[in-house]
Amino acid sequence: MSNCLAIEEYLAACLGKEVILDVRSPNEFEQGHIPGAINFPLFSNEERAEVGTIYKKIGKDKAIERGLEIVGPKLSSFVVDAKKLAVNNTVFIYCWRGGMRSGSLAWLLEMSGLNVVRLSGGYKSFRNYVLNSFQTKHSLLILGGKTGSGKTIVLEELEKLGAAVLNLEKLANHKGSAFGAIGEKPQPTQEQFENELFAQLQSLPKNKPIWVEDESRLIGKKIIPLGLWEQMRESPILYLELPVEERANYLVNEYGKYGKDVLIQSIEKITARLGSEQAKESIDAINNNDLKTACLNTLRYYDKTYLHGLNKRENKNILKIEFDNFELSSICKLLIEKEKEIYERI
């Protein structure tokens, strides 16, 4: 009989370490899955819909019969494929509720000689665990700064230097502004964004503060879970202060490699907020290959927006650190020094 573990034991045993097979349909998997899992569906999307319809209209017994008819010809391929994927002759599997789909496959794979570990309560128990986890308290350090301060690059460098970093924009596939989708993959579903966020938090050391970029709650179309968001709003902010010319130069280097049409479309998205005259001036500048002028124009809007949000924070623990230019190693060195000072106090 397969080993069946509750969610905490299951994740401790497999997350980031073992082969996890998600036996739900491709549509279910795409909507959300345990990070690192491989889709190993018993039914295609169409087959699952057919069995579900029979269950609702005729009954459970007929649905099971049809399910067996569908799965029967696939049994040998399930065994062959699972053995190819298994590590140390072991696989971890789950379905939606930890019921018939994972139970049936576990029986088959064990009969073939594999060690199988099932998730009690299935993916549903994982999702409940994920959502509850965002109430867990963390020691956060918020990296702030106006648009163009290079916060994302600073976070990436801090991570290389051994700091604990939660990169929300990387998880969301979005840089967080009207220009944020440029050069990024499509955003994940909200459900999968939360799953990946949970897994990232789980992987970070517990004895260090976690660096997080200062964000609005919405990153593109993805929403930061409320529990984590509230903690971010209450945590100390280390605010990078760089001259506007330096920030404009940074943005030219960041976005100048993309086509004019993409940049103009992004300007058009915020025309109402920039003002029609300023938006037109920015678009004309892009068409004339004067990206710096376009950046300076848009920064006037983004700077006001960012400072307005900063002033509304209840927590006034904001440490401003001024730099004359964007010198990555100097910025990171000072931030690591400040991390030690702040962490000793919290």
Domain that holds residue 237: 139-345
Are 250 and 168 contained in the same domain? Answer: yes
Among left, alpha and beta (phi > 0; psi -120 to 50; other), residue 183 is left
Whether 96 shows a pLDDT value over 90: the answer reads yes
Element at 196 (helix H, strand E): helix 190-203
Which pLDDT belongs to residue 124? 97
pLDDT at 315 over 70: no
> 83 and 171: one domain?
no
**What CATH number does the domain containing 156 carry?**
3.40.50
| pLDDT of amino acid 194 | 98
The one catalytic residue among 14, 95, 295, 332: 95
Going by pLDDT thresholds of 50, 70 and 90, the confidence category of residue 259 is: confident
Fill in the amino acid letter for 306: Y
In contact, 1 and 111? CB cutoff 8 Å: no
Work out the pLDDT band at 239, boundaries 50, 70, 90.
Answer: very high
SS percent in the chain: helix, strand, coil, step 5 = 55, 15, 30
Per-residue pLDDT at 131: 98
Examine the domain organization and report whether 122 and 153 are in the same domain. Answer: no
Domain boundary pick from 107, 131, 155: 131
Query: Is residue 194 within 8 Å of 130, Cβ to Cβ?
Result: yes
What integer pLDDT is reported at residue 64 of this predicted model?
A: 87
Q: Residue 113, SS3?
A: coil
Residue 338 phi, psi dihedral angles, 5° rounding? -65, -35
Are both 307 and 329 inside the same structural domain?
yes
228 or 275, which is more confident: 228
Mean pLDDT, rounded, of the chain: 92
Candidate ranges 130-144, 295-309, 329-343; pick with highest mean pLDDT: 130-144
Residues 185 and 317 in one domain: yes
Mean pLDDT of 5-15: 95
Q: At what angle do helices 291-311 and 260-269 cross, to 10 degrees?
A: 30
Dist. CA 252–CA 254, nearest whole Å: 5
pLDDT beyond 80 at 344: no
Q: What is the pLDDT of residue 248?
A: 94
| Confidence at 73, pLDDT banded by 50, 70, 90 | confident
Residues 198 and 310 in one domain: yes
Q: Report the percent of the chain where pLDDT is more than 90.
A: 75
Q: What is the pLDDT of residues 34-61, one digit of tens each?
A: 999 999 999 999 999 999 899 889 988 8
pLDDT tens per residue across span 198-207: 999 999 998 8
pLDDT of the residue at 312? 72
Residues 93 and 149 in one domain: no
For residues 109 and 160, state if they share a domain.
no
| Domain final residue pick, 131, 165, 188 | 131
Mean pLDDT of the region 286-296: 93
The total number of structural domains that make up the chain: 2
Query: Which of 89, 104, 131 delimits the end of a domain?
Result: 131
Beta-sheet strand order (sheet of 318-322): 164-166, 210-213, 140-145, 237-241, 318-322
Looking at residue 314, its pLDDT comes to 60
- Contact yes or no for 96/67 (Cβ under 8 A): no
Structure tokens given for 187: 């955003």
Integer Cα distance of 196 and 187 in angstroms: 12
β-pair type (90-94, 38-39): unpaired
Confidence check: pLDDT of 2 > 70: no
**95 in active site:** yes
Apex 8 CA angle, 7 and 13, nearest 5: 100
Closest CA to 175 of 225, 213, 230: 213
Same structural domain, 99 and 169: no
| 112 and 193 inside one domain | no
| Same domain membership, residue 111 and residue 151 | no
Q: What is the pLDDT of residue 345?
A: 65
**pLDDT per position as a tens digit, 98-136:** 888 999 999 999 999 999 999 999 999 999 999 999 999
Percent of the chain at pLDDT > 70 equals: 98
**Strands 218-219 and 222-223, sheet pairing:** antiparallel
The answer to whether residue 340 scores a pLDDT higher than 90 is no
Do residues 214 and 336 share a domain? yes
Give yes or no for residue 1 having a pLDDT over 80: no
Q: Which of 139-153, 157-171, 182-196, 299-313 has the lowest mean pLDDT?
A: 299-313
Q: Is residue 126 within 8 Å of residue 22, measured between CB atoms?
A: no
CA distances in angstroms from 233 to 204, 214, 221, 303, listed in the order given: 20, 9, 20, 19
User: Amino acid identity, residue 220?
Assistant: G
